[in-house]
Structure 1
Amino acid sequence: MAEGGVVAEFPNEPRQSAPVEPQEPSGFLGWSDPTLVALARSVGTDLDAALEVARSLSPVAGALGGATWSWVRTLASLGAGDLTVARVVEPHLDALAILDQAAQHDRATDDSWPSPVPTRGSTWGVYAAHAPGQHLQAVACGGEWALTGSKPWCSLADRVSHAVITAHVDEHRRQAFAVDLGHAGVRVSEDPWVARGLAHVRSTSITLTDVPATPVGPPQWYLERPGFAWGGIGVAAVWFGAACALAQSVLDSAHRRDPDQLALTHLGRLDTALHTTLLSLRDAAERIDAGEARGSVGELLAARVRATSAATAELVLAETGRALGPGPLTSDEEHARRVADLTVYVRQHHGERDLARIGAQRVREQR
Structure 2
Amino acid sequence: MRDDSDDPAALSLRDDRTVGAPVLAALRSADDTAGFGVDIAATLAWAVSVGRARAVERDLVDDWELLASVAARDVTAARILEPHLDALDILDQARRDGHDIELDRVGAGPASSWGVFAAEGAGVRLEAHERRDGWTLTGTKPWCSLAAHVSHALVTAWAGDTRRLFAVDLRADGVSPRPGPWHARGLASVVSAPVDFAAAPAATVGDPGWYLRRTGFARGGVGVAACWWGGAAALRAPLRAAAQRSGADQLSRVHLARVDTALWAARLALADAARSLDAPAPPDPALTAARVRTLVAQAAETALHEADHALGPLPLVADEEHARRAADLQLYLRQHHAERDLARIGGDLADGRGAW
Corresponding residue of 1:278: 267
Change (3 A) 1:149 1:200: same
2:239 touches 2:307 (CA, 8 Å); kept in 1? yes
Q: Alignment partner for residue 358 of structure 1, among 337, 342, 345?
A: 345
State how far apart, in whole Å, the 2-side matches of 1:27 and 1:268 are. 18
Can you list the C-alpha shifts for 1:245-299, whole angstroms capped at 9, x where unaligned?
Answer: 01222112323435321111111111110110001111111112222436xx110
1:28 touches 1:248 (CA, 8 Å); kept in 2? no
Tell me if 1:79 matches 2:71.
yes
SS at match of 2:217: coil
State how far apart, in whole Å, the 1-side matches of 2:288 and 2:55 are. 21
State how far apart, in whole Å, the 1-side matches of 2:85 and 2:25 are. 18
2:225 touches 2:293 (CA, 8 Å); kept in 1? yes
Give unmatched runs, 5+ long, in structure 2: 13-22
Corresponding residue of 1:181: 170
Matches within 5 A, 1:147-162: 147-162=137-152
For CA contacts below 8 A with separation 6 or more, give which structure has more relative contact order.
Answer: 1
Give unmatched runs, 5+ long, in structure 1: 1-21
* Superposition deviation, residue 31 in structure 1: 2.9
Tell me if 1:31 matches 2:11.
yes
Q: Alignment partner for residue 121 of structure 2, among 131, 156, 161?
A: 131
Change (3 A) 1:31 1:78: closer
Corresponding residue of 2:308: 321
User: What do you get for the CA RMSD once the two structures are aligned?
Assistant: 2.3
SS at match of 1:313: helix
SS at match of 1:229: helix
Corresponding residue of 1:50: 43
Amino acid at match of 1:307: T
Corresponding residue of 2:112: 122
State how far apart, in whole Å, the 2-side matches of 1:262 and 1:39 are. 39
1:116 touches 1:216 (CA, 8 Å); kept in 2? no
Corresponding residue of 2:254: 265
State how far apart, in whole Å, the 1-side matches of 2:179 and 2:7 are. 40
1:164 touches 1:176 (CA, 8 Å); kept in 2? yes
1:293 touches 1:299 (CA, 8 Å); kept in 2? no
Range moving further from structure 2, 316-325 or 182-191:
182-191
State how far apart, in whole Å, the 2-side matches of 1:304 and 1:145 are. 37
State how far apart, in whole Å, the 2-side matches of 1:134 and 1:89 are. 27
1:60 touches 1:70 (CA, 8 Å); kept in 2? no
State how far apart, in whole Å, the 1-side matches of 2:262 and 2:240 are. 15
SS at match of 1:44: coil
Corresponding residue of 2:225: 236
Amino acid at match of 1:354: D
SS at match of 1:322: helix
TM-score (norm 1): 0.86
* Superposition deviation, residue 326 in structure 1: 1.3
SS at match of 1:205: strand
Tell me if 1:140 matches 2:130.
yes
State how far apart, in whole Å, the 2-side matches of 1:149 and 1:167 are. 9
Task: Give the % identical residues.
Answer: 46
Amino acid at match of 1:271: D
State how far apart, in whole Å, the 2-side matches of 1:61 and 1:138 are. 32
Change (3 A) 1:280 1:61: farther
Change (3 A) 1:312 1:366: closer
SS at match of 1:346: helix
* Superposition deviation, residue 321 in structure 1: 0.6
Corresponding residue of 2:20: none
* Superposition deviation, residue 84 in structure 1: 1.0
Size of the alignment, in residue pairs? 337
2:11 touches 2:230 (CA, 8 Å); kept in 1? no
Amino acid at match of 2:275: E
State how far apart, in whole Å, the 2-side matches of 1:122 and 1:356 are. 38
SS at match of 1:365: coil
1:62 touches 1:100 (CA, 8 Å); kept in 2? no
Corresponding residue of 2:298: 311
Corresponding residue of 2:91: 99
Change (3 A) 1:285 1:61: farther
1:115 touches 1:217 (CA, 8 Å); kept in 2? no
Change (3 A) 1:61 1:230: farther
Corresponding residue of 2:59: 67
Tell me if 1:195 matches 2:175.
no
Corresponding residue of 2:16: none
Corresponding residue of 1:15: none
